[in-house]
Amino acid sequence: MKTVALGLRTVPALGQGTWNMGDSPGKRAAEVATLRRGIELGMTLIDTAEMYGSGRSESLVGEAIKGLRDRVQLVSKVLPSNASTEGTVRACEASLKRLGVEALDLYLLHWRGRFSLGETVAGFERLLKQGKIRAWGVSNFDVDDMEELHRVPGGEGCTVNQVLYNPEHRGIEFDLLPWCKSHGVTVMAYSPVGQGGKLLASATLGKVAQKHGVSPAQAALAWCLREPVVAIPKAGSIAHVEENAAAADLVLDEEDLAEIDRVFQAPKRRQGLDML
């Protein structure tokens, strides 16, 4: 599995997302099996959040990683409404309980809210000292947000910015992605194959996929992984997660990238940050 630097460690470039997982009791066994199969295939970074299913996703992940904790890089997120200094600590402790683990590998602020960045960073720093998290980062932060964060005491400890990134949403390439590269912040791409099927129905992506004998989703993931980012697609079945894992070996050539660029154009100016 291709890897990406995250702070002083490396993590797989292809991980597993869990948005909308854990909501249906009838799907639970299949979802647990899917996550475990992904771990077997090297997709050992698993992303979840207290918001997902009001904690049900974290509980599902906790079940899936039983006996496998040493192999997994575990990521969760604190809601902005909980992101005061004390609230961040309490939210993390609740997430740890649902996950059934003693520490998170990475803890993110899900998006900006009413609490100051200084308060949230203070909570992250306390959790680091307590050994309850190993690193921290943010999600849905634009360049202005990142620069403000770096002016906060301790703000340069941010290791990750998780943002929307796929061929339909590539505004980060103009300024945010270069900023993160130059400041040692790893970009984590959520929804790398889009949502709702519009991206995967693209004739252009279909043409590129057909050329390589792969699915449009695999082509979209390979496009994303041409950059040094971590992509976290969700899979609903073992066949789906196996398809995702195989995308890590696919390399698109210059002709493919030019074809995609013609339809999904690279940004020529600064854009507002896209969010889902």
Give whole-number Cα distances, 173 to 82, 98, 149, in Å.
Answer: 31, 36, 20
Q: What is the C-alpha separation between 23 and 229, in angstroms, rounded?
A: 28
Q: What is the C-alpha separation between 58 and 167, in angstroms, rounded?
A: 29
SS3 state of residue 168:
coil
Domain ranges of the chain: 10-195+227-237
Amino acid found at 201: A
Catalytic one among 52, 107, 165, 190?
52
181-184's contacts with Cβ under 8 Å and 24+ in sequence apart are 181/228, 183/146, 183/150, 183/156, 184/7, 184/159
Residues 82-97, buried b or exposed e (16+ Cβ, 10 A)? bbbbebbbebbeebbe
- Residue 154 phi, psi dihedral angles, 5° rounding: 85, -5
SS3 state of residue 5:
strand
pLDDT for 264 equals: 95
What contacts 152, CB < 8 A, 6 or more positions away? 117, 118, 121
pLDDT for 1 equals: 83
By the 8 A CB rule, do 77 and 139 touch?
Answer: yes
pLDDT for 195 equals: 86
Q: What is the C-alpha separation between 209 and 215, in angstroms, rounded?
A: 5
Question: pLDDT per position in the chain (276 positions), as tens?
Answer: 889 988 878 999 999 999 999 999 999 999 999 999 999 999 999 999 999 999 999 999 999 999 999 999 999 999 999 999 999 999 999 999 999 999 999 999 999 999 999 999 999 999 999 999 999 999 999 999 999 999 999 999 999 999 999 999 999 999 999 999 999 999 999 999 998 788 999 999 999 999 999 999 999 999 999 999 999 999 989 999 999 999 999 999 999 999 999 999 999 999 888 888
Fold for the domain defined by 10-195+227-237: TIM Barrel (3.20.20)
Q: What is the C-alpha separation between 48 and 14, in angstroms, rounded?
A: 15
Q: How far is CA 154 from the centre of its chain?
A: 23
Q: Residue 164 forms beta bridges with which residues?
A: 190
What contacts 25, CB < 8 A, 6 or more positions away? none
Q: What is the C-alpha separation between 193 and 122, in angstroms, rounded?
A: 35
Known catalytic residue at 107:
no
Q: What is the C-alpha separation between 88 and 243, in angstroms, rounded?
A: 36
